[in-house]
Amino acid sequence: MSVLPGQLAPSPRLLLGPGPSDAHPRVLTAMTTPLLGHLDPQFLQIMTETQELLRQAFRTQNRLTIPVSATGTAGMETCLVNLLEPGDRAVIGTIGYFGKRMVEIARRTGAEVTVLEAEWGNILDINRIRETLKAVRPKVLGLVHAETSTGALQPMEEVGKLAHETDTLLVVDAVTSLACTPLEVDQWAFDATFSCSQKGLGCPPGLAPVTFSERAIAALKGRKTPVQSWYLDLSLIESYWGGDRAYHHTAPISMIYALREGLRIVQEEGLENRWARHLRNQKALRAGLLALGLQYTAVEGHQMPQLHAVRLPSGVDDVAGRKLLLSEFGIEIGGGLGDLKGKAWRIGMMGYNSEPKNVLLLLAALESVLSRAGVKLTPGAGVAAAESAYAAG
């Protein structure tokens, strides 16, 4: 293919970091189809379809289910600024970097925030959550389901019921869990849930799917003060996505095309099959990484399938190692965040990318990078361990 001077020609990459992960080719094709106006009847139909597909992916009947026009963090901000007012009490659980971000955003609403902290790599114990809710009686409890900074998956099945006993709204960061690991918004009684387009859904970054329960909508309607952010005010956004299609902001048309296609692919595969695919590839990648002598930052039994955070062996330079992976193999992985900066690598196997060929390629490339950094390894050990995990089923 000939390239004009200055024409964009990014090198081929395999995006195996914490996001973005590669977009499905069908998603990229959908994005190149012609624009429609944001109030065109055909586009309104596409919006309705996208909302229905989003409900299926979230496993919810929530009518207020929309993609916010910005990245996952805007989803976090949307949930918190719509539910919290100055003086409200909030409890935010932090098991890593993204929990801390939630604390920061909650504080900026003027809420009184109680931080419930677990050590990085660990999860929050349900009894501690119960005791804190009883002691604080907050309006909102915020938790991160899949903490991408440590690779830990917080068990969420029981929390919603617990929150409702103290009349608390449960806000959940499902940015890295949607379409990767079991996520049951209705069954687990979540009140406000947010995610992103670029991790499990195999789309580019740019949208933040958000879903609000009837309880959360009632809290929004019962506010005494206007939502501090005009752009993220869900009662305004809903009048575009919901009933009267009133102009609020210009929807990012091509991104909605992308999301719709990404969600159609999820629907075709089936959520259960998709979760099972992530688990299968987790087992193999985990076996391979352990065979390379790498240790997980997340505690045993709570490691998520879609993101593997491992400690760097001594003597391996974080930046140099990742540079080599990128320049020689075209593979991107992530470095550590916060407490784990310079100490861990984060490997994503999310959505479209969660495939055996990527697991095997990454293990071979990692072996090469690690052994060049002086780590003593049995040649082929990582790939062999992954192959036997696949063979074992």
Ligand X SMILES: *Cc1c(COP(=O)(O)O)cnc(C)c1O
Cα–Cα distance measured from residue 156 to residue 59, given in angstroms and rounded to the nearest whole number = 14
181 in contact with ligand X (CB under 6 A): no
Least separation in angstroms between residue 176's CB and ligand X is 4
**Binding segment toward ligand X, per CB under 6 A, in 45-53, 66-74, 264-272, 279-287:** 66-74
Residue 360: CB atoms within 10 Å? 18
Tokens of 130: 């119960």
* Contact present, 94 and 118 (Cβ < 8 Å): yes
Residues of this chain, 302-341, that bind ligand X according to CB under 6 A = none
* Contact present, 296 and 151 (Cβ < 8 Å): yes
Instruction: Pick from 148, 150, 281, 282 the residue near ligand X by CB under 6 A.
Output: 148
71 in contact with ligand X (CB under 6 A): yes
Least separation in angstroms between residue 117's CB and ligand X is 16
Residue 123: CB atoms within 10 Å? 21
Instruction: Pick from 66, 133, 144, 292 the residue near ligand X by CB under 6 A.
Output: 144
Closest CA to 118 of 89, 158, 152, 164: 152
Q: What is the DSSP letter of 17?
A: S
Taking the CA atoms of 186, 282, 308 and 306 in sequence, report the sign of the dihedral they define. negative
**Binding segment toward ligand X, per CB under 6 A, in 103-111, 171-179, 261-269, 354-362:** 171-179
Show the binding pattern over residues 186-205: x = contacts ligand X (CB under 6 A), - = does not: ----------x--------x
C-beta of 168 vs 176, nearer to ligand X: 176
**How many residues sit close enough to ligand X to count as binding (CB under 6 A)?**
16
84 in contact with ligand X (CB under 6 A): no
Taking the CA atoms of 329, 314, 280 and 59 in sequence, report the sign of the dihedral they define. negative
Q: Which helix (H) or strand (E) holds 18?
A: none
Residues of this chain, 245-304, that bind ligand X according to CB under 6 A = none
C-beta of 143 vs 253, nearer to ligand X: 143
Instruction: Pick from 28, 44, 73, 126 the residue near ligand X by CB under 6 A.
Output: 73
Instruction: Pick from 173, 191, 238, 367 the residue near ligand X by CB under 6 A.
Output: 173
Q: For residue 20, is the peptide bond before it cis, meaning its omega torsion is within 30 degrees of 0?
A: yes
98 in contact with ligand X (CB under 6 A): yes
> In sequence order, what are the beta bridge partners of 10?
none
Instruction: Pick from 15, 47, 175, 189 the residue near ligand X by CB under 6 A.
Output: 175
Residue type, 225: T
C-beta of 193 vs 213, nearer to ligand X: 193
Taking the CA atoms of 83, 87, 91 and 97 in sequence, report the sign of the dihedral they define. positive
* Contact present, 233 and 82 (Cβ < 8 Å): yes
C-beta of 99 vs 160, nearer to ligand X: 99
Residues of this chain, 1-60, that bind ligand X according to CB under 6 A = 18-19
Cα–Cα distance measured from residue 369 to residue 278, given in angstroms and rounded to the nearest whole number = 25
Q: Site residues (CB under 6 A) for ligand X?
A: 18-19, 71-73, 76, 98, 144, 146-148, 173, 175-176, 196, 205
